[in-house]
Chains A and B, each alone.
Chain A
Amino acid sequence: MDKPSTSRRGLSPRLWLAGGWLLLALLAAIFAPLIAPQDPLAQDLMLERLPPFWLDGAEPGYWLGTDSLGRDLLSRLIFGGRIAFIVAFSAAIAACLVGSTLGLIAGYFGGWADRIISRIVDVWMAFPPVLFAILLVAVLGTGLSSVILAIAIIDWTRFCRVIRAEAMGQSRMDYVENARIAGYGRIGIMLREVLPNVVPSIVALLSLEMGIAVIVEAILSFVNLSISTDDPTWGGIIAEGRLSIHQAWWVLVFPLITLILTVLSFSQFGEALKTRFDPVLR
């Protein structure tokens, strides 16, 4: 399944599209106050449920229409991207650090370290992840840091399982044995010889995990457990859109398209990066 689906040299069109979308969304999120056409929190009951620009009844300046409180949808999506990217980057990196470290230790050292870590992973895998996330955020209290922490606490196993298996495979290779004979210490070999060889997998998983984190944040917002309800989030807009689906379909359609593009881009990006970094495939 690791076959390179696109050309090995140069960037494939799919990677260009994925990278382009992520860059666009990221820049929009960073410069949100400069480019958002309206205040994302401003309510105006005279402007409620305005349709997007190509339909009759649209108002100029409200490109994607408004929700049931008259708030501008495009501006809310742009500001919602801030939360999405903050969660994506921090939660994925935190999960990656914990999971990759434990996976590397379990896979390279084996023995008791592996047994204990693997048992913990088994316990974690027996939790329904979404329920676990909702439970953790309920316990930690809603807020940005709780959401990030909850995702990291749940998803480190994704890194741990893959990196453990890869480190295990690497540590059986001749070069590791040679390094040991050459007199390198165990931890030195793990960091200098094994780690660089599992980096392609880590990078691919990291990109994938960012997509997953965006979804989990959206799910938490959807059940009204993410950050404070004042700040616009993609999941929060979706929850609002789900309620007014028969009156204003656009409130659901646009955040949904945004989420799908973002998730697809992260997964495409991860696959492509893996292919590029992998010394065997390259």
Chain B
Amino acid sequence: MLLQRFLIRLLTMLITLFGVAVVVFVVIRVAPGDPIAMMLPPGATDADIARLRALYGLDKTIVQQFFIWLSGVVRGDFGTSISLRQDVLGLVFNRLPATLELAIVALLMAVALGGTTAIIGARERGTAVEAGIDIASGAALSIPDFLWGLVLILLFGVLVPIFDISGRVSPQLDLPFVTQFYLFESILRLRLDLTWDLLKHMLMPAVALALPLAAIISQLLKQSLKEVLDLDYVVLARVKGFSETQVILREALKNAALPTLTLVGVQFTFLIGGTVIVERLFSYEGLGNMAIDAVINRDLPLIQGIVLVFALLFVLINLAVDMMYALLNPRLRRG
């Protein structure tokens, strides 16, 4: 049952990815403006242009180009970036860790903040504390990450300048890292001086991304907790003499978390989508920032590669959440 579900999901995932590849391929080839003309020095002959067009496969029909590109992608060859003259996959892998670190830190913040406020709100239900949490989460949800980023830049970059508002790490620092996961590696190597510098750069973009998700988690989990708290087994635990906090943490949370989990998966993909503009806002050297440059430079192979990697990330997260839900939900587990 679980395997069958997994295989069906895997198949739809591949169809979705194929669809994304088709859409992005068609969209960027409708674009006016010749990317080849931009990379040639003035005075290039027609023969030069034709040679370069052939080199990048641009002299073939769209359908031919698509299948040449697709067969490359299947073999792990995403082509060569036109503006940076480097292997697309190498460029993407170089930047992806920065974006993943940012997204994971933001997710952890959102779960911690959303979870805590949900538990407090459920324990203090019906009081002014709950009303306050409702208002705060309503505002956090309505204001998108782009605006939160700007608010944070003003508050903690200018008014009280305690964080850095641009870049991923201070440029004068000597980085001993072998991977691109700077933050995680600095923690593993116990180079906490570097961890601190990286965090000072990452904290504000991460908070900007985390706030809307934290609000959703808070609202949904609080709602589920309040429903569960009236059920018999929870009332029984209360009668047994557990405090309200203990009742929530030991009994209610486990069952209330399931609906939230499904939603967090979808919302996490929205968060990753948000990194594109938030990275731009904070000049953070991640995949999204590179993507915007790629669009501005009309770097077709690079745009295709980045969009496809984002899409892959999205469908994988949805698949993982779906499987986790199936594993955790006893009704689905038994089939």
Query: Is there an interface contact between B150 and A139, defined as CB atoms closer than 8 Å?
Result: no
By size class, the interface of chain B is 35 or more
Q: Which residues of B contact A268 (CB under 8 A)?
A: 142
Listed from nearest, the 7 A-B pairs whose CB atoms lie closest are A123-B19, A128-B273, A126-B311, A139-B31, A267-B142, A130-B276, A126-B314
Apart from A126-B311, A127-B20, A223-B280, 11 more pairs, CB < 8 Å: A1-B223, A122-B12, A126-B315, A128-B275, A131-B273, A131-B276, A225-B296, A245-B165, A259-B147, A260-B151, A267-B142
Per the bound structure, the CA–CA distance linking A218 and B273 in Å amounts to: 17
Query: Is there an interface contact between A135 and B17, defined as CB atoms closer than 8 Å?
Result: no
Query: Is there an interface contact between B28 and A131, defined as CB atoms closer than 8 Å?
Result: no
Which of A65-73, A186-194, A246-254 contacts the other chain? A246-254
Query: Is there an interface contact between A263 and B147, defined as CB atoms closer than 8 Å?
Result: yes
Give the nearest-CB partner of B280 in chain A: A223
Query: Is there an interface contact between A238 and B17, defined as CB atoms closer than 8 Å?
Result: no
Q: Which residues of B contact A5 (CB under 8 A)?
A: 134
Whole-angstrom distance from the CB of B14 to the nearest CB of chain A?
A: 11
Question: Is A125 interfacial (CB 8 A cutoff)?
Answer: yes
Q: Which residues of B contact A276 (CB under 8 A)?
A: none
A128-B276, A249-B158 are known contacts. Are A135 and B307 too (CB-CB below 8 A)?
yes
Query: Is there an interface contact between B157 and A245, defined as CB atoms closer than 8 Å?
Result: yes
Which residue of the partner chain, among A126, A141, A223, A252, contacts B16 with CB atoms under 8 Å?
A: A126
Q: Which residues of B contact A132 (CB under 8 A)?
A: 307
Per the bound structure, the CA–CA distance linking A134 and B310 in Å amounts to: 15
Query: Is there an interface contact between B295 and A138, defined as CB atoms closer than 8 Å?
Result: yes
Question: Is A167 interfacial (CB 8 A cutoff)?
Answer: no
Q: Which residues of B contact A249 (CB under 8 A)?
A: 154, 158
Query: Is there an interface contact between B311 and A127, defined as CB atoms closer than 8 Å?
Result: yes
Give the nearest-CB partner of A235 in chain B: B146
Whole-angstrom distance from the CB of A152 to the nearest CB of chain B?
A: 15
Question: Is A282 interfacial (CB 8 A cutoff)?
Answer: no
Per the bound structure, the CA–CA distance linking A256 and B153 in Å amounts to: 11
A131-B288, A242-B150, A245-B158 are known contacts. Are A123 and B20 too (CB-CB below 8 A)?
yes
Question: Is B39 interfacial (CB 8 A cutoff)?
Answer: no
A131-B288, A131-B310 are known contacts. Are A245 and B27 too (CB-CB below 8 A)?
no
Per the bound structure, the CA–CA distance linking A211 and B143 in Å amounts to: 10
Query: Is there an interface contact between A215 and B147, defined as CB atoms closer than 8 Å?
Result: yes
Q: Which residues of A contact B17 (CB under 8 A)?
A: 126
Q: Which residues B22-72 have CB closer than 8 A to chain A?
A: 23-24, 27-28, 30-32
Contact with A along B136-162 (1 / 0, CB 8 A): 000100111011001101100110000
Q: Which residues of B contact A83 (CB under 8 A)?
A: none
Query: Is there an interface contact between B147 and A123, defined as CB atoms closer than 8 Å?
Result: no
Query: Is there an interface contact between A215 and B19, defined as CB atoms closer than 8 Å?
Result: no
Per the bound structure, the CA–CA distance linking A252 and B291 in Å amounts to: 25
Per the bound structure, the CA–CA distance linking A219 and B24 in Å amounts to: 21
Whole-angstrom distance from the CB of B305 to the nearest CB of chain A?
A: 12
A123-B23, A242-B153 are known contacts. Are A223 and B147 too (CB-CB below 8 A)?
no
By size class, the interface of chain A is 35 or more
A215-B146, A263-B144 are known contacts. Are A223 and B19 too (CB-CB below 8 A)?
no
Query: Is there an interface contact between A138 and B31, defined as CB atoms closer than 8 Å?
Result: yes
Q: Which residues of A contact B146 (CB under 8 A)?
A: 215, 218-219, 222
Question: Is B117 interfacial (CB 8 A cutoff)?
Answer: no
Whole-angstrom distance from the CB of B313 to the nearest CB of chain A?
A: 9
Per the bound structure, the CA–CA distance linking A215 and B277 in Å amounts to: 11
Question: Is B298 interfacial (CB 8 A cutoff)?
Answer: yes
Q: Which residues A207-255 have CB closer than 8 A to chain B?
A: 211-212, 215, 218-219, 222-223, 225, 238, 242, 245-246, 249, 252-253
Q: Which residues of B contact A246 (CB under 8 A)?
A: 158
Query: Is there an interface contact between A119 and B15, defined as CB atoms closer than 8 Å?
Result: yes
27 A–B contacts, CB within 8 A, in A order: A1-B219, A122-B12, A122-B15, A125-B314, A127-B20, A127-B24, A128-B310, A130-B273, A130-B288, A131-B276, A131-B306, A131-B310, A134-B291, A134-B295, A135-B295, A138-B31, A138-B296, A138-B298, A223-B292, A223-B296, A238-B150, A245-B157, A245-B158, A253-B154, A256-B147, A263-B142, A263-B143
Which residue of the partner chain, among B134, B142, B153, B219, contacts A264 with CB atoms under 8 Å?
A: B142
Query: Is there an interface contact between B281 and A242, defined as CB atoms closer than 8 Å?
Result: yes
Q: Which residues of B contact A245 (CB under 8 A)?
A: 153-154, 157-158, 165
Q: Which residues of A contact B97 (CB under 8 A)?
A: none
Per the bound structure, the CA–CA distance linking A197 and B274 in Å amounts to: 33
Question: Is A136 interfacial (CB 8 A cutoff)?
Answer: yes
Per the bound structure, the CA–CA distance linking A139 and B304 in Å amounts to: 14
Q: Which residues of A contact B30 (CB under 8 A)?
A: 139
Q: Which residues B161-203 have CB closer than 8 A to chain A?
A: 165
Most buried by A among B31, B147, B150: B150
Most buried by B among A223, A252, A253, A263: A223
Whole-angstrom distance from the CB of B166 to the nearest CB of chain A?
A: 10
Q: Which residues of B contact A33 (CB under 8 A)?
A: none
Question: Is B111 interfacial (CB 8 A cutoff)?
Answer: no
Q: Which residues of A contact B315 (CB under 8 A)?
A: 126
Whole-angstrom distance from the CB of A242 to the nearest CB of chain B?
A: 7
Question: Is A57 interfacial (CB 8 A cutoff)?
Answer: no
